[in-house]
Amino acid sequence: MRCCHCKADLWVYFSTSIPKKKMAETMISGSRRRKSAWMENLGYWFACPVVIDPFGKAYYRWQMIISAAVMYNVLAVPARMGYEQLRNPRLDVLWLALDYSCDFLYLSDIVWHLFIGIPRKGIPAADLRISRKQYFRSTQFKLDILSIIPTDFLYFVWGIRMAAVRLNRLLRFHRVQELFERTHVHSTYAVYFRFLQVVLYSIIVIHFNCCAYYALNYWQGFGFDLWTFPNFANTTTPEEGNFINLYLRSFQWALVVLAKDVDGLVYANWYECVLRIFVTLEGTFLLGAGIAIAEHLLAAKNRHLEAYRHHLDAVKQYMALRDVDEHMQKRVRAWFNYVWEQKMFTDEQADLEILPPILRLAIAKVSFQDTFQVHSTPKLVTHPSKIKLQVQKQRSPVLRKITISTPI
């Protein structure tokens, strides 16, 4: 069909009496229309915008995928370096398949960032040239390139079981941190996700320590001294020498050393002492981070509790000053209890104060659109911003109904 179109266009071009310049412009515009229709059909089937919103759900889902690939490298590479059970020849095909699947995702992640409109003044940039130039100059791009360098060619020198050649893949860990930052924005429980983030980092540190501890045992020999593992091949049953048992023993050692100095062993050489010093320092920093996160959690919860108690005490003091009868005081206390139990105690004006007036008005329209169903759109320009939410206890009568009207 395309060839037929071209022949028809050429025949018209040479056989008509219309000026050649105008005819050429008509032919070019027709080809552009066909090209735009083809691009429109392509966009319909793949639904991929030219500029990707970094705050959208599509990019957030992609961050979860690439973070899973990064976490695979963070956990698998040190484990394969430390434990000889994971260097079994029967696992070579599995490791190679997983490794190069993650490498494909790493390359796809760089392609994704070429179409992301980096925000300028809070709005994603429509010109990708500016966004790409900013991405190429960023530290993230340098880390992305370093993490995808094909160090696997060293397999030809050291063999395919040398997992240390893939240590550069861990440089993509900033994608996991970016996922947590986006989760803080998307979720209403950001404080709890910060706590989970610290727990995840702690598990990763303990995982690194237990892999290093077992590798040191394997290098200098099991049963070398009291600080190392006993020789499971000679002293225990074969079940105790499997990978899971050895990993749990190493993990328990790393966890205990991170917590406090309880082993009381005398180290036979300097590298055992160096490993212990590093692990103890890591435990100190992680303990401080955990305490800070826990304090932040309690402070966030106590802030609402203190505000609730402040308002309750002020109302009780006012009722005592005005000699309000006991029945009314009981109703007021019941209302406060209901608001606190239903988690409706909040100051909307203070919470939304940071937003510009246009956004506050838009939120108010969405929140109270059922109230204004009988009104036309032009009348809703200023009314919603004047409405305040009033919480009524169940089965409590509404004492006053405010009607909103506009002058004719």
The string of DSSP codes covering 152-166 is GGGHHHH-TT-GGGG
Q: Is residue 18 assigned to a domain?
A: yes
- Give the highest mean pLDDT range of 42-51, 236-245, 271-280, 313-322: 313-322
200 in a structural domain: no
Residue 289 confidence (pLDDT) = 74
Give dist(CA 107, CA 406) in Å, integer: 60
CA distance 32 to 28: 6
Report for 98-102, 126-130, 210-214, 235-239: range of highest mean pLDDT: 98-102
Same domain for 155 and 234?
no
- At 116, give phi and psi (nearest 5°): -90, 125
> Would you state the pLDDT for residue 76?
94
| Chosen domain end from 339, 366, 385 | 339
Q: Assess whether 170 and 58 both reside in one domain.
A: yes
Are 73 and 178 part of one and the same domain? yes
Q: What is the pLDDT averaged over residues 102-124?
A: 83
Q: Do both 141 and 54 map to the same domain?
A: yes
Residue that terminates a domain, selected from 319, 339, 359? 339
* pLDDT the model gives residue 302: 72
Whether 6 is in a domain gets the answer: yes
Residues with Cβ within 8 Å of 303's Cβ and at least 6 positions away in sequence, in order, are none
Q: What is the pLDDT of residues 195-211, one digit of tens each?
A: 788 888 888 988 998 88
The answer on pLDDT for 16 being more than 70 is no
**Co-location of 58 and 181 in the same domain:** yes
In a domain, residue 332? The reply is: yes
205 in a structural domain: no
Q: How confident is the model at residue 99 (pLDDT cuts 50, 70, 90)?
A: very high
| 120 phi/psi in degrees, rounded to 5 | -125, 115
More confident residue, 336 or 230: 336
Residue 173: half-sphere exposure toward Cβ, Cα within 13 Å: 11
Nearest to 216 by CA among 260, 283, 269, 154: 269
- Asked whether 265 and 227 are in contact (CB, 8 A), the reply is yes
Name the more confident of 264 and 326. Answer: 326
Are 248 and 293 in a shared domain? yes
pLDDT surpasses 50 at 58 = yes
Are residues 275 and 314 located together in one domain of the fold?
Answer: yes
Residues 330 and 395 in one domain: no
Per the DSSP assignment, residues forming a β-bridge with 52 are: 116
Q: How far apart are CA 44 and CA 47, in angstroms?
A: 5
Tally of domains in the chain = 4
What's the CA dihedral at 124, 130, 134, 137 to 10 degrees? 170
The residue-averaged pLDDT of 279-301 equals 73
Average pLDDT over residues 153-157: 90
Are 230 and 311 contained in the same domain? yes
- Domain identity same for 41 and 54: no
Rounded distance, CA 72 to CA 68, Å? 6
Give the pLDDT score at 201. 87
Asked, for residue 195, whether it belongs to a domain, the answer is: no
Q: What is the mean pLDDT of the chain?
A: 73
- What global pTM score does this model have? 0.65
Residues ≥6 apart with Cβ < 8 Å to 217: 224, 228, 229
Range picked from 163-167, 296-300, 310-314 for highest mean pLDDT: 163-167
- Whether residue 9 lies inside any domain: the answer is yes
Q: State which of 130-139, 335-344, 389-398 shows the largest mean pLDDT.
A: 130-139
Between 407 and 230, the more confident residue is 230
Most confident of 32-36, 178-182, 224-228, 373-377: 178-182
Is residue 318 located within the same domain as residue 385?
no
Integer angstrom CA distances of residue 254 from 103, 135, 258: 30, 39, 6
Examine the pLDDT at 37 and tell me if it is beyond 70. Answer: no
Q: Is the pLDDT of residue 110 over 90?
A: yes
* 67-72 mean pLDDT: 95
With H, G, I as helix, E, B as strand and everything else as coil, classify residue 65. helix
Of 311, 339, 367, which closes a domain? 339
- The distance from CA 179 to its chain's CA centroid, rounded to whole angstroms, is 2
Average pLDDT over residues 315-323: 84
Q: Are residue 251 and residue 149 in the same domain, yes or no?
A: no
Residue 153 is assigned to a structural domain of this protein: yes
75-84: per-residue pLDDT in tens?
A: 999 999 988 8
Whole domain around residue 11: which residue ranges? 2-46
> How sure is the predictor about 366, in pLDDT bands with cuts at 50, 70 and 90?
low
User: What share of the chain has pLDDT > 90, as a percent?
Assistant: 16
